[in-house]
Amino acid sequence: PRVDYSLYYVTGRSLLPPAPASYTGPPDEWYLAHLEQALAGGVTVVQVREKDVDGGEFYEVARRSKEVCDRYNVPLFINDRLDIACLLECHLHVGQSDLPARLARQLLGPDALLGVSVNTVDEMREVLEEGVADYVGVGPCFGTQTKKNLNPIMGPRGVRAILETLGDSEVKAVVIGGITPTTIPNVLAQTPAPLTSGGYRHLDGLAVVSSIAAATDPFTAATELRALFLGRKMLP
């Protein structure tokens, strides 16, 4: 089944705002209620990314996130933890310093989706040569407070160079890093890459952490982000 990558939400529980007075559920379920609102607002893919918790807690957060995503028919990716992705029959996203994608693919099996982070054209070429990834997360496009050990900022031009390398490959591409309603118009206008076969290679989606995770109203935040992507002008 084809996946809609248009609004890819990478969770980060540490960024969540405090629950508003209108929230009456259990405090430990605020994260899930917040996630559910983001899904209702139009998030099309979710990745659980938990950098500061142990395996047991990560598993539990991922398991409960999957219950919510399943109800919305939205695919759930696990960041880095192949073991947890396998246990929960989820998809997996790996960075450049995680287990290599071709090894992850061996344990995941052919049905799970696999995403890889890329920051350079060389990394993009390698992903294409390996041939095991379904999509790439391209970034950081802009500066961000969200990630420690941030790779070099690429800017829209760097992202476009990746899309040029991707060409008309089936591998999908989402951009990440400082993606907000303010930056989206620039990203969408500056990233389409001309193809040698004619036409342009466009981004398949926008990936965000703080633009949704830090929102007190994740429903409205997701609705706005998705509308900006869907309303983009595509070059022919």
Residue 172 a catalytic site member? no
d(CA 181, CA 228): 7
Among 209, 215, 221, 222, binds ligand TZP (CB under 6 A): 209
Per rule CB under 5 A, is residue 99 in the interface with Mg ion?
A: no
Per CB under 6 A, which region of 32-40, 85-93, 140-148, 193-201 contacts ligand TZP? Answer: 140-148
Per rule CB under 6 A, is residue 210 in the interface with ligand TZP?
A: yes
Among 41, 95, 178, 205, binds Mg ion (CB under 5 A): 95
- Residue 98 touches which of ligand TZP, Mg ion, none (CB < 5 to 8 A by kind)? Mg ion
Query: Each residue of 16-45: b (16+ CB within 10 Å) or e?
Result: beebeeeeeeeeeebbbbbbbbbbebbbbb
Among 161, 176, 222, 225, binds ligand TZP (CB under 6 A): 176
Nearer to ligand TZP, 210 or 223 (CB): 210
Round the CA-based radius of gyration of the chain to a whole number and report it: 17
Least gap, CB of 11 to ligand TZP (angstroms): 11
- Residue 217 touches which of Mg ion, ligand TZP, none (CB < 5 to 8 A by kind)? none
- Residue 210 touches which of Mg ion, ligand TZP, none (CB < 5 to 8 A by kind)? ligand TZP
Strands (E), the chain: 7-11, 45-48, 76-79, 91-94, 114-118, 135-138, 172-176, 193-194, 200-201, 205-208
Please give the residues from 57 up to 116 whose contact with ligand TZP meets the rule CB under 6 A.
Answer: none
Q: How many residues does the chain have?
A: 236
Per rule CB under 6 A, is residue 179 in the interface with ligand TZP?
A: yes
d(CA 12, CA 2): 26
Per rule CB under 6 A, is residue 118 in the interface with ligand TZP?
A: no
Those residues whose C-beta lies under 8 Å from the C-beta of residue 112, and which sit 6 or more positions away, are 85, 89, 90, 91, 92
Per rule CB under 6 A, is residue 208 in the interface with ligand TZP?
A: yes
Catalytic residue among 13, 63, 64, 147: 147
Distant-in-sequence contacts of 143-150, Cβ < 8 A, 24+ apart: 143/177, 143/178, 144/177, 144/178, 144/209, 144/210, 145/210, 146/12, 146/15, 146/209, 146/210, 147/177, 147/209, 148/51, 150/177
Nearer to Mg ion, 96 or 223 (CB): 96
Residue ranges binding ligand TZP (CB under 6 A): 10, 139-140, 144, 146-147, 176-179, 208-211
Residue ranges binding Mg ion (CB under 5 A): 80, 95, 98
